[in-house]
Amino acid sequence: MKKDLGVVAAVCPMPVLMVAAYDENEKVNVMNAAWGQICDNDKIILFLGEDRKTLANMKVSKAFTVALADEAHVKEADFFGIASGNRMDDKFERTGFHAVKSDKVHAPVIEEFPVCMECELAEIVNTENVFGVVGKIVNVKANEEVLDEKGKVDVSRLHALMFDQFRSGYYATGEKVAQAWNAGVGLMKK
């Protein structure tokens, strides 16, 4: 029997996304965003607070990157979520991480995170019920150690972080349990 939990953000797990952008002085800022998702083959939408430093930077630079946080960097990923660039001028520097300028968009690529989407700012959606930032993905970069023999990202090698909104925990991706568009094929034959 199910128990009523009330109104909770019940989509779980959520990706742990590291969103990075330059400010007007080319200073790197990174934030942790769990509320984001692919919204088309070449687009991502991020649901961010309107007061975020990274959002202000995205508006200036018209570009940003979105990296997948991984288990090896959970401490820094969490820090990027609890520290505010509006109040901490050396937020990025405190981690000891390294950024290089994307060769596709005007945004930083954080070297320590294994997969990074390079995005142009496509649109900001601001309605009564939604505030979202849409990015057009112009390229994806990945470290070779997370790629399989066909050059595709292997999630079992990635150990990407997932956010548990029920208990505020981080988990890492791991074992594959089924093949998509195949596991349910037998039910098509009934």
> At a CB cut-off of 8 Å and minimum separation 6, what does 14 contact?
34, 35, 162, 163, 165
The neighbour count for residue 105, using CB atoms within 10 Å, is: 24
- With b for 16 or more beta-carbon neighbours within 10 A and e for fewer, the 123-157 pattern comes to eeeeeeeeebbbbbbeeebbbeebbeeeeebebee
CB 158 within 8 A of CB 75: no
The whole-angstrom distance between residue 184's C-alpha and the CA centroid of its chain comes to 29
CA-CA distance, 46 to 31, in Å (whole number)?
11
Q: What is the pLDDT of residues 105-161, one digit of tens each?
A: 999 999 999 999 999 999 999 999 999 999 999 999 999 999 999 999 999 999 999
Mean pLDDT, range 50-79, rounded to an integer:
96
Mean pLDDT, range 72-85, rounded to an integer:
95
- Does residue 68 register a pLDDT over 90? yes
Model confidence band, residue 10 (pLDDT cutoffs 50, 70, 90): confident
Whole-number pLDDT of residue 50: 87
Question: Structural domains in the chain?
Answer: 14-189 (2.30.110.10)
Q: What is the pLDDT of residues 26-59, one digit of tens each?
A: 999 999 998 999 999 999 999 998 889 999 999 9
Which secondary structure element, helix H or strand E, spans residue 33, and what is its range? strand 28-33
Q: What is the pLDDT of residues 91-106, one digit of tens each?
A: 999 999 999 999 999 9
- Does residue 11 register a pLDDT over 90? no
- Does residue 167 register a pLDDT over 80? yes
Q: Which of 102, 97, 104, 50 is nearest to 69 (CA)?
A: 97
CA-CA distance, 58 to 20, in Å (whole number)?
8
- Does residue 190 register a pLDDT over 80? no
